[in-house]
Structure 1
Amino acid sequence: MTAPALAPGARLCFVADGRSPISRNWIGYFVARGFEVHLISTFPVDAAGMGLASAEVVPVAFARYAGASSGLSPAPAGAPAGMPAWARRLRTRAVGALFPTVFGWLAPPEVARHAARVRALVDRVDPVLVHAMRIPFEGVVAARALEGSSRPLVVSVWGNDLELWASRYPLVSRATRRALARATALHPDCARDLRLATRWGWNPSRPSVVLPGNGGVRAERFHPGPPSAELDRRLGIPEGAPVVLNPRGFREYVRNEAFFAAIPRVLERHPHAVFVGVGMQGNPRAARWIAELGIGHAVRLTPLLTPDEIASLFRRATLAVSPSQFDGTPNTLLEAMACGAFPVAGDIASVREWIEDGRNGLLCDPADPAALADAMSRGLRDEGLRRAAAQRNGALVAERAEFGGVMRRAEAFYARVAHAGSAR
């Protein structure tokens, strides 16, 4: 029997953070394929140039205060004019410390009031399916909006939806169970989350697919190649120096305090190593750790970078470090693997789906500076291991995470879900 396919120009509706590069990467594929794509963004977004049929903003869960789409980290509103620098820093730290807890308790009931608005927008579009790209709180509001409707709903699970947010906060837990009960189909980015979802009420007899959350790795951008001399000059990296790259930025679940604490231990064994932290420039915690540890000569902090700049850094890096304590499949891990950087990562279930310790990377306790330092030092020392890992990782990414192949599978999954919905 011929597999079902989406009709040309079929209408699709996404409930997503429209600012997110992950969401935009995924959505862009379907726009390029000629489907009629509508976006309900949970954050204010400039949708110009996205090629959407429509874009509406429904700012759920205090979107004014929630920050970077990956991790729901705080981005406090602008400080009052004339506030002293020390007061600004104190305010930022206070909001950063309090935000996750306040958000976890107050956001779920706040989301409910937006369900009717989302339902009206979806009914106006009348898509063949709705895809909510993350559970808190896009999946939560979409599920509430579509309760009592037979319209197919695909829900994506991102790395910390179940293991961190639903596990830590009772109201998020309840909302997660309700979302998974309503979902027609499930898209996690790792098999671990597919297993976890069944504990939160997901019916495993329903359709599911495990695919990288952002659609995979674009080989035209992320690939091995010669390092950029201009990049070395810009970051002040000495010629030939080994580079240890942390591309994860500051997120609640990334153990950056252990990463920085490990640096002096690595420098004892590899005194010429240079450590680069992406998206960490201006962060007060990073600045404090660097000063306390006396490692300023060996550390470079960057602002947020473009995808092309990140790709150049991966090609320059000897190691790419991902010290996550909770995570799905980090997009930066796959991109680093594609570029030939040697992975050093937290020993967690989702990462073990890609990395075999001692074969194509090294895994360790991400909260233990000594263990992290030992893994980084071994990676810097063992050139043979790095070379063999680069070969294996290039083939692995090409097979399982290449963007075109991943998104063709996603399109086929949509067709299966939409066909099953229309057959009811």
Structure 2
Amino acid sequence: MSDAGVLPAPAGGARALPRGTRILFVADGRSPIARNWIEHFVARGDEVHLVSTFPCEAGSLRLAGLHVLPVAFARFAGGNVGRGAAPASAGRAAALTRNLRARAVAAAFPTVFGWLAPATLGSHARRLRELVLQIRPEVVHALRIPYEGIVAAEALAGTAYPLVVSVWGNDLELWAERYPLVGRFTRRALARATALHPDCARDLHLAEQWGWNPERPSAVLPGNGGIRRDVFHPGPPDAEVARRHALPAGGPLVLNARGFRAYVRNDTFFRSIPRVLERRPEAVFAAVGMQGDPRAERWIRDLGIGHAVRLLPRVAPAEMAALLRLSTAAVSPSEFDGTPNTLLEAMACGAFPVAGDIASVREWITDGQNGLLCDPADPAALAAALLRALGDEPLRRGAAERNAALVAERADFAEVMRRAEAFYARVVNEALPG
């Protein structure tokens, strides 16, 4: 990852971010990535308000205020996303209904969002503007461009409120490029933004092509705040976790932790498996967040690989870390991405990374040294990379050492959030009169 735009902590006479700073986040409040970032500022004693673009609950976040501003069909998407299983008290029928509804919404959402969500911009921007005038934040931070950064930029048009906009993995390369209205409003959002927070240097440079002024403040930092190394770290395999998920506690295990996303080539992942099994019939493949998904089940059935594949539910961070410590390799076949959080988690836990050969991932992985990169659309190339990973123990051992050092140096949560505080301090201090 390039050091461009990464700010050190305030030094000398520079003013640090005072505790109690009033911060308004515009984010998907269900997202574990967003919540991980927000939690830091709650914990340090800031007055944190959240406007969520999806229905959510505050849960453990001790927010000063929570408001919901649902985009497109977001009100049908349910209250949870990402890690964590459904509550045990929920009935199986109700849980199944929610899962089916959420999958239907997820399948339709990209098209609906890309073409229809901008049409709802006016009413959402007016409502957000009303909330801003009530809360009077010292800084507004939109955690993603579509739709959060777009609506925040429109809401703050003509005001002096400082606006930080985060760029997530496919905001520019996929959404802005594919959908003309999203692209138009992305340009407006970048023009209005006071400061920019991408999670990879690639997006910092790409943003300039979409109208970002590089003379304004920017900080290249992991989108979720980095890796909590007390959770994600190397260690012995957990036999109980292996037993619970019917996984080997010592044999070759390949973990796909990406779930279903429009930019992750899970078709490539499943089609690579028969090729790997021809040479390594003892290998087992696990996919997190795909339990009960008809798309995954169909691939398994059509390819005849059911004996070697485990479809797992969504899991909490500690369970994800345990799964990664069980894994020989962690696969991430994305064709559009920023810095995948699961990639950093795999690196922290010592699982060998096998990922799509894209610019953002190359900021972390040097092919053949601390991981392997391949064409995310080519099952044969992915299978060849997995076979090499499974068969080269010295490569895996050397990669684990390099990756632990990389995470400690560039993605440790405490250090990343120290830089984030310095970034906010600069944005707020430059916005002060005089």
Cα pair 1:17 1:69 within 8 Å, conserved: no
The answer to whether residue 174 in structure 2 is matched with residue 174 in structure 1 is: no
Task: Give the distance between the partners of 2:124 and 2:16, measured in 1 at CA.
Answer: 32
**TM-score normalised by the chain length of structure 2:** 0.91
Paired residue for 1:350?
A: 360
Q: Verify: 1:17 aligned to 2:28, yes or no.
A: yes
Match of 2:391 in 1: 381
Query: Contact 1:61/1:137 (CA < 8 Å) preserved in 2?
Result: no
Contact in 1 for aligned 2:77/2:105 (Cα 8 Å): no
> What amino acid is aligned across from residue 46 of structure 2 in structure 1?
F
Deviation string 1:31-66 (CA, Å, 9 cap, x unpaired) is 111111111111111114311111111113332245
Partner of 1:328: 338
1:4 aligns with 2:8: no
User: How far apart, in 1, do the equivalents of 2:106 and 2:173 lie?
Assistant: 20
The residue type equivalent to 1:329 in the other structure is T
Cα distance per residue 1:156-176 (max 9 Å; x no partner): 000010000000000000110
Q: What amino acid maps onto 2:148 in structure 1? A: E
CA distance in structure 1 between the aligned counterparts of 2:107 and 2:256, rounded to whole angstroms:
22
Q: Relative contact order, CA 8 A, sep 6+: which one is greater?
A: 2
Q: More deviation in 109-118 or 245-254?
A: 109-118
Give the alignment partner of residue 322 of structure 2, picking from 295, 312, 321.
312
- 1:112-151 to 2 correspondences below 5 Å: 112-151=122-161
1:298 and 2:298 matched? no
Mapped partners of 2:120, 2:63: distance in 1 = 28
| SS, match of residue 74 in structure 2 | coil
- Superposed CA offset, 1:101-136 (max 9, x none): 232111112122111111111111111100000011
Residues 13 and 127, structure 1, Cα contact 8 Å, conserved in 2:
yes
Residue of structure 1 equivalent to 2:47: 36
* Contact 2:237–2:249 (CA under 8 A) maintained in structure 1: no
Structure 1 stretch displaced more, 166-175 or 6-15: 6-15
SS of the residue aligned with 1:64? helix
The question of whether the paired residues in 2 share the 8 Å contact of 1:61 and 1:111 is answered with no
Query: In the alignment, what sits opposite 2:246?
Result: 236
Alignment RMSD: 2.0
Q: d(CA) in 1 for partners of 2:195 and 2:387?
A: 43
Sort the Cα spacing of 1:99 and 1:36 in 2 relative to 1 into closer, same or farther, 3 A.
closer
2:162·2:194 contact (CA, 8 Å) conserved in 1? Answer: yes
- 2:89 aligns with none
Specify the alignment match of 1:186 in structure 2. Answer: 196
Which residue, 102, 122, 130 being the options, matches 2:112? Answer: 102
Displacement, 1:8? 2.5
What is the aligned-residue identity percentage?
Answer: 70
Q: Could you tell me whether the CA contact under 8 Å between 2:73 and 2:105 is conserved in 1?
A: no
Match for residue 372 of structure 2?
A: 362
Q: Which residue of 1 aligns with 2:60?
A: 49
Q: Are 2:254 and 2:327, in contact at CA under 8 Å, matched by a contact in 1?
A: yes
Q: How far is 1:295 from its partner? A: 0.6
Task: Look up the equivalent residue of 1:384 and give its one-letter code.
Answer: P
1:333-391 Cα distance to aligned partner (Å, 9 max, x none): 00000000000000000000000000000000011000000000000000000000000
Which residue of 54, 60, 66 maps to 2:71? Answer: 60
Per the alignment, residue 76 of structure 1 pairs with none
Deviation at 1:69, TM superposition (A): 6.3
Q: Offset of 1:94 from its aligned partner?
A: 7.2
Over 3 Å counting, the alpha-carbon distance change for 1:409 and 1:95 in structure 2 is closer
Which position in structure 2 is the counterpart of 1:245? Answer: 255
Distance in structure 1 (CA, Å) of the matches to 2:105 and 2:133: 37
Query: What is the SS of the residue equivalent to 2:353?
Result: strand
Alpha-carbon offset, residue 10 of structure 1: 1.4
Match of 1:26 in 2: 37
Whether 1:282 aligns to 2:292 is yes
Aligned length: 410
> Which deviations, in whole Å up to 9, do the C-alpha atoms of 1:312-337 show, x marking residues without a partner?
00100000000001000000000000
The aligned counterpart of 2:212 is: 202
Deviation at 1:270, TM superposition (A): 1.0
CA contact (8 A) 1:12 1:35 kept: yes
Amino acid at match of 1:294: G
Unaligned stretches of 5+ in structure 1?
71-80
Give the 3 Å change call, closer, same or farther, for CA 334–413 of structure 1 in structure 2: same
CA distance in 2, matches of 1:113, 1:395: 48
Partner secondary structure for residue 390 of structure 1:
helix
Q: Distance in 2 between matches of 1:132 and 1:107?
A: 17
